[in-house]
Amino acid sequence: MGDDIVRLGPELALLTGAAIIVMVDVALPQIRGADRGRARLMALLGVVAVAVSIGWSLALAVGDEKGPAFNDVIVIDDFSLFFSFLFAGVAGVIVLASVDFLERNHFPAEYVALVLAAAAGMMLMASSVDLIAIFIALELQAIAFYIMVAFSKNEKSAEAALKYLLLGAISSAITLYGMAFLFGLSGSTALDEIAVFVRDAESDTRSGLVVAAVLLTAGFGFKMAIVPFQMWVPDVYEGAPTPVTAYLSVASKAAGFAVVMRIFLVALGEGAITSDWAVLFAILAAISMSVGNITALMQSNVKRMLGYSSIAQAGTLLIGLAAVAANDPQLLLGASSVLFFLGTYAFTNLGAFVAIIAISNKIGSDQIADYAGVAKRSPILAGGLAACLISLTGIPPTAGFIAKLYIFDAAVQADLVWLAIIGVVNSVIATYYYLRVVLNMYTRDPVEESRFLPSPSLSVALAVSVIGLFAIGIYPSPLIAASESAANVFASVS
């Protein structure tokens, strides 16, 4: 039991932090309306909780405190630690990026607590190895997100939240249906026991497994935001408070990929079924990239543009998943390329959203046309946003380039040249809409001349992202090593 608690430390730190924040809020004298001091205090407490969580993960990693917990429902390995760091880090940046928003909001404590709870849920998603635990973790983060999307409390935000809630509920139901199939066929909810069943499966159960795989892909496809399960993305991205949009686009997507990797690489990782879902992922990858990019070309709102671009990026990530299965199971290039891509994508996309939050706060618009001349009014923000967009395009010397190189490398190694070619053609299309924003900021004349600077917390968040994306672009070896050891988890299973 003691070991169990220690191994769950990173999640518990966040949840305890969330509880403390809510209690502190009750203890403080109640003020009607917005309260700047309270917002800052809550953000500070949130960052402290994140720091404790990261420290704990670090201790687990260094002290080699790995292994199963709670009757093998949860496992702490390199893979779950990778995501513990990722989600805690992202939550920290999101809290920092939300300070401006919270200073104008009436419920800062609840918001920060929800951010932390969602992060804990996503960490649990990555470390659960039992279908029931996975589903509970999934719901924990989903419910937190439903509330956060509605947090602006205006019409658009409410509409977005309702849409997200309804579609999210449907996707949960589909996920459960898929899980039921797996359980029904194998008689177990533990992933490794299902794996044994799948490996020895007779051919007459194959169709049942295919149905389960398709249902699970559909259910988690909602989280990963891949076509055709992306319908909610543009409206929710546009309506939600921008920090929440950033959180959704980076963390929620990564959590979806983490679970899919756990389920598909462990439970469905061997036997005839692998080639079936590999084809499924390859096709979804091609469709997601193409649909996401072509629709992104037509957007005039920068948040919607990033929404569609995140669909396209999810498609690129699926290339890595398709490459895993098409390959020799021992060769885990595809899995590590997905992990590396998620890590760099976190820096890049967070940076882009942070810059957009700072710019939109000042110019009061999300329209790409209104970004004209931002470079003159705020060279730092324009430079930061340009760096992030260039990284999303995949131009060196940024992290995005290495990620692209790595994932296409995996595809080529897995004989998926056709998919890699669709990928590179899509990256050319993407250049246009990413650089169009840069072009607007640098070559057009601003409507007003007044200069502005980002607030301190946004500056820190942006600096972390931009330094990170250049550091990874120039010296990617540490992150590559981390991704590879996390991916190795799947090698030892099979």
Partner 1 sequence: MVSFLIFFPLVGVLLIAFLPKDREENAKWIAAATAAIILALAIGLFAAYDRTDAGYQWIDELTWIDSDVAEFTLKYAVGLDGLSLPLVSLTAFLSLVAVLISWRIDLRPKEYFAWLLVLEMSLLGVFSSLDFVLFFIFWEIELIPMFFLITIWGSGNRVYSAWKYVLFTFFGSAFMLIGILTLGLSEGTFDIRELSQIGEISGAILPAGAIFGLIITAFMIKLPVVPMHTWLPDAHTDAPTAVSVILAGVLLKMGGYGILRMSLTIMPDVAKDASVYLAALAAFSIIYGAVMTLVQTDLKRLIAYSSVSHMGYVLLGASAVGVVGLQGASMQMFTHGLITGMLFVLVGMVYDRAHTREIGELSGLAQRMPFIAVMMVIAGLASLGLPATAGFVSEITVFLGTFEKHEALTIVGVIGIAFAAGYILWTIQRVFWGELDERWSDLTDANAWWERVPLLAMAFLILAIGIYPNVIMELIETGVIPISERLT
Given 94, 487, 489, 493, the residue binding partner 1 (CB under 8 A): 487
Q: In this structure, are strands 67-69 and 74-76 parallel, antiparallel, or unpaired?
A: antiparallel
Q: How far is the CB of 335 from partner 1 (least distance, A)?
A: 9
Q: How far is the CB of 438 from partner 1 (least distance, A)?
A: 8
Rounded Cα distance between 180 and 189, Å, is 9
Q: Is 290 in the site for partner 1 (CB under 8 A)?
A: no
Closer CB to partner 1, 51 or 412, in the complex: 412
Selection from 124, 115, 121, 112 nearest residue 140 by Cα: 121
Q: Is 401 in the site for partner 1 (CB under 8 A)?
A: yes
Q: How far is the CB of 455 from partner 1 (least distance, A)?
A: 23
Which residues pair with residue 190 across a beta bridge? 130
Selection from 161, 291, 185 nearest residue 235 by Cα: 161
φ and ψ of 271, to 5 deg: 95, 180
Given 166, 173, 283, 425, the residue binding partner 1 (CB under 8 A): 425
Piece in contact with partner 1 (CB under 8 A), picked from 175-183, 189-197, 207-215, 401-409: 401-409
Rounded Cα distance between 104 and 353, Å, is 19
Closer CB to partner 1, 328 or 448, in the complex: 328
Q: Is 160 in the site for partner 1 (CB under 8 A)?
A: no
Q: Is 294 in the site for partner 1 (CB under 8 A)?
A: no
Q: Is 447 in the site for partner 1 (CB under 8 A)?
A: no
**Residue 266 carries which side chain, given as an amino acid letter?**
V
Closer CB to partner 1, 17 or 400, in the complex: 400
Closer CB to partner 1, 210 or 412, in the complex: 412
3-state DSSP helix/strand/coil % of the chain, to nearest 5: 80, 0, 15
Rounded Cα distance between 56 and 88, Å, is 11
Given 439, 453, 463, 471, the residue binding partner 1 (CB under 8 A): 439
Q: How far is the CB of 484 from partner 1 (least distance, A)?
A: 5
Rounded Cα distance between 98 and 110, Å, is 13
Q: Is 187 in the site for partner 1 (CB under 8 A)?
A: no
Contact 284/328 with Cβ under 8 angstroms?
A: no
Q: Is 285 in the site for partner 1 (CB under 8 A)?
A: no
Given 443, 447, 451, 456, the residue binding partner 1 (CB under 8 A): 443
Rg (CA), the chain: 21
* 67 three-state secondary structure: strand
Neighbours of 62 (CB within 10 A): 8
Q: How far is the CB of 403 from partner 1 (least distance, A)?
A: 12
Selection from 314, 339, 336 nearest residue 327 by Cα: 336
- Footprint of partner 1 (CB under 8 A): 331-333, 336-337, 390, 395-397, 401-402, 405-406, 408-410, 412-413, 415, 417, 420-421, 424-425, 427-428, 431-432, 435, 439, 442-443, 476-477, 480, 484, 487-488
